[in-house]
Amino acid sequence: MVNYCGLLTEKNEPVPLKQVEVAVRVQGHVASVTSTLQYENKEKNPLEAIFVFPLEGDAALCHFSAKIGETELVAKLQEKQKAKEQYDDALSSGRQAFLLEECEESEDVFRLSVGSLSPGEKASVTLSYVTELAVQADEALRFCLPAVLNPRYDPQDSGSVPQVTSSSDGSVPYTLSLSVHLSSPSPISKVESNCPLEPLKYLNTEKTQATVSLSPGHVFDRDVELLAYYSGAHQPTAIVEVGQPNAKSGSLMGDPVVMLSLYPEFSAAVTSSLDSRGEFLFLVDRSGSMGCPMHNSQGAQMRIESARDTLLLLLKSLPIGCFFNIYGFGSTHNSFFPKSVEYSQETMDQALEKVGAIQADMGGTEILSPLTHIYSQPCLPEHPRQLFIFTDGEVWNTKEVLDLVKRNAFCHRCFSFGIGEGASTALIKGMAKEGSGHAQFITGTDRLQPKVMQSLRFALQPAVKDISVKWNVPKGVSVTPLSPPINVLFQGQRSLLYAQLTGQFAEATDGSLSVQYRLGEQSVQNQISFSVKPGEETGLTIHRLGARTLIRTLETELRTAQQDEQEGQSKEEAECLRKRVIELSVQSGVSSVLTAFIAVHAGSAQSVQGSLVRRHVPTPRVMASRRIMYQISDENCDDCYGDFEDAEFSLEEVLNPPQPPKDLLLQLISLQKATGSWDLVPELAQVFGKTEEEVAKQTPPQVDSGLWATVLALLWLYGFRGEDEDEWQFVAMKAVSWIRAQKGGSVSQCVQAGNTLLGCQVQQGTLGL
């Protein structure tokens, strides 16, 4: 296995990339992004600059151009092998050329080659893409500009993956500026970021348009995340976009395309009654890179520590009667139990003891093997399998993993969590999509626990079955879906559908889409109406997103066909799909794994003189501060994040770093029993800021100490940690169920006395009692 960490060029050698400028235009649920990269050759020889960088996994890259002096070159999409040959021919003849291609192993990584920059010459490269914005639980729209590309693990050591060059200290020798223009049908209330921002500036009195930018001097050491808040983000919407005027009628780019944002409406009876059945499998990354911090800021929690805290919370939140198991993986994998066990006090205690001992000590990130093992295990009757995967996502064999998850989608739901900066969006989102689940990303100072609890709520919801979609359009109009069939619906979560509209469009004609499905014993139908006739020309964002969606579907079908071909099946299907992907990519201008953007500067009469020198441009990666590697080998260091970094720390500081104060919420949750109750012990009293004697003294007459302790725990949660209810709601539900099952003792007396003891004012009804 080869890992490329740090600059590969000689020490203090200049890097030709000088500046990155990014302009983002947010319109509703989508964003258009334009990045301009400024290059300058300050060396004595002509250069070729290689830059391997990340993009969002579902971005549609749709434009690439270069400017040398006053000459602008607009790149064209071509079949990838032809584009590479053209690029190589240009460089060998001394001409300037530019090549932009998607990584074959993972669709969220791109490789930019800037060839034959003469000494003293400057060049700017511009690339544009469009992307969907994820809707968060608090109704924020999330935009992420990926910056961090940590070295990724190649389990087969194939040597074919892109050479990732990363700076060793998280910083890079070029600057970033980013500006954002937002427009919304409803007022924009605020914009938040994990990076310092200039104040939000409104452009009109209705506050439906605004601009914001990164503060000057931004350190380019992390992914840039923006959260935009405006009312109506969770409302169903339908947008019809007119096609290209000069495109052929009947083609994707020539016809109108509709984008529908759907939000299923579940009844209160369904959302309030969570299923206690299920087989819950937790697959935890224990590779070496999980020993790195969540972010580069001081005091950051280690990724593996965050995973341990989350497993504690999950184990305490599981319902009595379910089954569970916990797997760890790295270069190998293991499990806490030989097979899934029934959830009880005994099995929970056994698992918690093992959770406390897990470390990032299992080497490389080999995720295929444990997934294969899990899928080989028979499912439990009446207990739907729910798979939770926690990983920093630093692997190259992304598509192989996704194909495996898809082949087993019928037997489970997959909930994936990308931990830390640089997690592969293609892997994390892809596993959730193919496994009919939900994806979450935990970056910067995000807490993993509330996001995991949201996914647990989804997992405990009854699975939506028999989903069907019916289009209702006027006579003379036909619909060609561009999105794959819907296979999962969750309360409050958006589903996006794209479709091509073909035919004759009369004035003011309306259409609709109906989604029918079965939820438990109920048959449900949701409907959204839209105008079939498109409005004025507004660009091609929706067309390109629709094309990207269809291209990704075809690429998956192509991989399946190629696997069948290796097993002796016909080659015709694979070749037909290959041609269709290339044709659609070139027609729409959206890149694919089979195409690449190529631009050659043919206008220069004089060839570049001198031997061409290659320079690898570094990307940021997360620092592994306070970490010592005692044994550095392929078996225990998957990503080799650097040994003895941050040498200003003493050995004593590194071996015994200052421990952050224990989270009182996690301390209280750790003391809860599997049944939902608490015992009156000194550690519980400590959470309340009391001694055990002080708490016991206030016990109401003839009340069991367990009931008293459990009511106090509920009062403390509601009275002092109400803002964290997303994390402890299942813990509280179990406690309430246990209290209701008890006979004897006055709950009202306990609530009254507990409020007095703790100094809070929580009503009994608030507790659900």
Residue 324 lies in a domain: yes
Closest to 515 (Cα-Cα) out of 500, 494, 535? 494
Contact 524, 269 (CB under 8 A): no
Tell whether 732 is covered by a domain: yes
Domain of residue 169, CATH code: 2.60.40.1730
SS3 for 127?
strand
Q: Answer yes or no: do 393 and 506 share one domain.
A: no
Please give the DSSP secondary-structure letter assigned to residue 463.
P
The mean pLDDT value for 695-703 works out to 93
Question: What is the average pLDDT across 213-240?
Answer: 82
List beta partners, residue 49: 114, 615
- Is residue 497 situated within a structural domain? yes
**Is 700 a member of any domain?**
yes
Q: Are residues 434 and 525 in the same domain?
A: no
pLDDT score recorded for residue 643: 33
How far apart CA 107 and CA 411 sit, in angstroms, is 26
Within a domain: 47: yes
CA–CA separation, 74 and 66 (whole Å): 7
Q: H or E segment at 580?
A: helix 572-588
The answer to which of 198-207, 497-506, 636-645 has the lowest mean pLDDT is 636-645
Q: Name the band, by pLDDT with cuts 50, 70 and 90, for residue 191.
A: very high
483 and 442 in one domain?
Answer: no
SS3 for 718-762 is HHHCHHHHHHHHHHHHHHHHHHHCCCCCCHHHHHHHHHHHHCCCC
Give Cα 262 distance to the centre of its chain: 20
161 or 180: which leads in pLDDT: 180
**Separation of alpha carbons 763 and 711, rounded Å:** 12
Is there a single domain that holds both residue 456 and residue 468?
A: no
Q: Residues 56, 191: one domain?
A: yes
Euclidean distance between CA atoms 688 and 259, whole angstroms: 52
Is the CA virtual torsion 642, 56, 426, 432 positive or negative? positive
For the chain, the helix, strand and coil percentages under 3-state DSSP, each to the nearest 5? 25, 30, 45
Same domain, 199 and 217: yes
Boundary (domain end) residue, out of 517, 533, 549: 533
Confirm whether 246 is domain-assigned: no
Q: What is the pLDDT of residues 383-413, one digit of tens each?
A: 989 999 999 888 888 999 999 999 998 889 9
pLDDT band at 2 (very low <50, low <70, confident <90, very high): very low
Q: What is the pLDDT of residues 332-349, one digit of tens each?
A: 999 999 999 999 999 999
User: Which residues share a beta bridge with 617?
Assistant: 51
Pairing of strands 201-202, 141-145: unpaired
List all residues 6 or more positions away from 541 whose beta carbon is below 8 Å from its beta carbon: 27, 30, 32, 130, 241
3-class secondary structure per residue, 402-450: HHHHHHCHHHCEEEEEEECCCCCHHHHHHHHHHCCCEEEEECCCCCHHH
Number of domains in the chain: 4
Write the Ramachandran bin of 617: left for phi over 0, alpha for psi from -120 to 50, otherwise beta.
beta
Residue 274 pLDDT level (bands cut at 50, 70, 90): low
| CA nearest neighbour of 534 among 495, 499, 585 | 499
DSSP label at residue 661: P
259 phi, psi to nearest 5 deg? -120, 120
Containing structural domain, residue 525 = 257-263+464-533
* Neighbouring C-alpha atoms within 13 Å toward the C-beta of 349: 7
Please state which of the ranges 268-272, 540-544, 727-731, 752-756 shows the lowest mean pLDDT. Answer: 268-272
Query: Is 248 a member of any domain?
Result: no
pTM over 0.75: yes
Domain shared by 358 and 421, yes or no: yes
Q: For strand 30-40 and strand 17-27, is the pairing parallel, antiparallel, or unpaired? A: antiparallel
Given a cut of 70, whether residue 289 has pLDDT beyond it is yes
Average of pLDDT values for 472-499?
Answer: 87
| pLDDT reading at 6 higher than 50 | no
Q: Is residue 154 a contact partner of residue 103, using CB atoms and an 8 Å limit?
A: no
- Tens of pLDDT, residue by residue over 710-737, are 999 999 999 999 999 988 999 999 999 9
Q: Strands across the sheet with 224-230, in order? A: 134-135, 141-145, 224-230, 188-193
pLDDT score of 639 = 43
Confidence of residue 522 (pLDDT cuts 50, 70, 90): confident
Q: Are residues 304 and 373 in the same domain?
A: yes
- Residue 547: HSE in the Cβ half-sphere, 13 Å Cα cutoff: 30
Distance CA 24, CA 34 (A): 6
Among 163-167, 240-244, 335-339, 721-725, the minimum mean pLDDT is found in 163-167
Residue where a domain stops, chosen among 488, 503, 533: 533
| Mean predicted confidence (pLDDT) in 149-155 | 74
Residues 189, 304, single domain; the answer is no
Q: Tokens 């294969």 sit at which residue?
A: 372
Please determine, for residue 3, whether its predicted confidence score (pLDDT) is greater than 60: no
Contacts of 136 (CB under 8 A, 6+ apart): 142, 227
The pLDDT value given to residue 249: 84
Backbone angles phi, psi at 336, to 5 degrees: -70, -35
- CATH code of the domain containing 292: 3.40.50.410
Q: Which residues of 596-633 are buried (b: 16+ CB within 10 A; e: fewer)?
A: bbbbbbeeeeeebeeeebebbbbbbbbbbbbbebeeee
Same domain, 162 and 147: yes
Question: Looking at residues 61-69, what average pLDDT do you find?
Answer: 92
Q: Which two tokens stand for residue 212?
A: 């914001």
- Identify the pLDDT of residue 603: 65
**At which of 460, 489, 507 does a domain end?**
460
Residue 644, in any domain of the structure: no
Shared-domain flag, residues 444 and 510:
no
Q: Are residues 398 and 468 in the same domain?
A: no
Calculate the average pLDDT of the chain: 85
For 303-317, the pLDDT digits (tens) are: 999 899 889 999 999
